[in-house]
Amino acid sequence: MKVTASLPTGVAAVFFEAARQRRRLETMLVDRLEAAGFGEVVLPVVDYLDPYEQMLSGRSRSELYRFIDRDGELLALRADFTPMLARLIAPRMASLELPLKLFYRGDVLRYQEARAGRERELYQVGGELLGLPGEDAEREALERFIDLLVHVTDQPVRVVVGIAGALDGLLLTHGGAQGAGALVAAVGRRERQIVRAVPALLDVVTSGAPRDPEALGEAAARRLVRVQAMIAALGERLSAPSPGSSSRPPVSLEVDLAEFADQALDPALRHLVGPRAYYDGLVFRAFVGRAGLPVGSGGRYDRLFQTLGGDDITAAGFSIGVDRLALGATPEDVPVPNGRTEGAA
């Protein structure tokens, strides 16, 4: 059970069977990661704020719990593992043997408006892959992410995939830097009426991607075609029987650019970027059970390492919200609020 009485909003103590279930899921995830060659890192729960200032979006800044310590230093509680890991490893990449596979586990704390189903303290297990060639890192991160989920749940798993910045050209062409925010919000909420005048955006809202990829621009179109081919091949492998293994839950995979409409890369649209502002390639999110409980997300973030003084390497990773997974991993479906929930990972 969870106990929330007399505790700050958005946090809870976990007792008895709920605590056992969390540890059981954590152990299963960690064992699977270690068997796949991932090594554990243990990161602090507090850090200086200054190194992260250059990568914070307005929304990620608003999530941070910040305070001044007794020495007058401005600090922040850990709201995300990936930037902290990148900050510590980036200056040391030359001394490390690549590729590198790392995993972590622990709490993140994010300030979010009080709302049903929205937590401020989240327990995560996640992994990072550094230095793999090109899109291989994206593919392996996504496959490992799905493998972990189907390993710990018997409920249906739905994974949606997008591309950071894929809609930038359409947004700027039809909304400009000032009007793009309204289009992003409309696409994210699937509001057909607002985007009806832009056929490609209407396709994205209704089907996840434009019927004619060239509407995104040459570079984004090529990228979309490659991602669609990757998803199709991965979907075939997941649907094929696995000799000698127990039955696994059904997995659906789909490209849905609308789900990641706020993952902009163009500097003119950076004010629109959501809390995980560092993604710059493939992005993905998973939902479990018939209620569609959001349980994790991930993507590619090469530029984050460069921003923090690291080498030009490919970096991709994922995180899974263990508490949310515990709710969705059992046969009983748990109702969740309508709309997207970003707190899972």
pLDDT tens-place string over residues 36-66? 999 999 999 999 999 998 888 878 889 999 9
**Res 337 pLDDT > 90:** no
Q: Indicate the pTM of the whole model.
A: 0.92
**Res 191 pLDDT > 70:** yes
Residue 292 to residues 35, 206, 286, 339: CA-CA distances in angstroms? 29, 18, 9, 11
Q: Which of 204, 182, 206 is nearest to 260 (CA)?
A: 204
**Res 118 pLDDT > 70:** yes
Token pair 């622990």: residue: 106
Q: What integer pLDDT is reported at residue 344 of this predicted model?
A: 53
**Res 298 pLDDT > 50:** yes
The residue extents of the domains of the chain are: 2-328
Q: How confident is the model at residue 305 (pLDDT cuts 50, 70, 90)?
A: confident
Q: How confident is the model at residue 276 (pLDDT cuts 50, 70, 90)?
A: confident
Q: Are strands 157-163 and 121-130 parallel, antiparallel or unpaired?
A: unpaired
pLDDT tens-place string over residues 201-234? 999 999 999 999 999 999 999 999 999 999 999 9
Q: What integer pLDDT is reported at residue 340 of this predicted model?
A: 44
**Res 342 pLDDT > 60:** no
Q: Exposed, middle or buried by CB within 10 Å (0-12, 13-18, 19+), for 71? A: exposed
Q: What integer pLDDT is reported at residue 151 of this predicted model?
A: 94
**Res 251 pLDDT > 80:** yes
Q: How confident is the model at residue 273 (pLDDT cuts 50, 70, 90)?
A: confident
Mean pLDDT across 234-253 = 81
Q: What integer pLDDT is reported at residue 277 of this predicted model?
A: 79
Residue 103 to residue 125: CA distance in whole angstroms: 7
pLDDT tens-place string over residues 125-169? 999 999 998 899 999 999 999 999 999 999 999 999 999 999 999
Q: How confident is the model at residue 2 (pLDDT cuts 50, 70, 90)?
A: confident
Question: To the nearest whole percent, how much of the chain has pLDDT over 70?
Answer: 92
Classify domain 2-328 by CATH architecture: 2-Layer Sandwich (3.30)
Strands (E) in the chain, as ranges, are 2-3, 13-14, 39-40, 46-48, 66-68, 74-77, 100-109, 121-130, 157-163, 251-255, 282-288, 293-300, 315-321
Q: What integer pLDDT is reported at residue 246 of this predicted model?
A: 62
Round the average pLDDT of the chain to a whole number and report it: 90
**Res 34 pLDDT > 90:** yes
Residue 299 to residue 305: CA distance in whole angstroms: 14
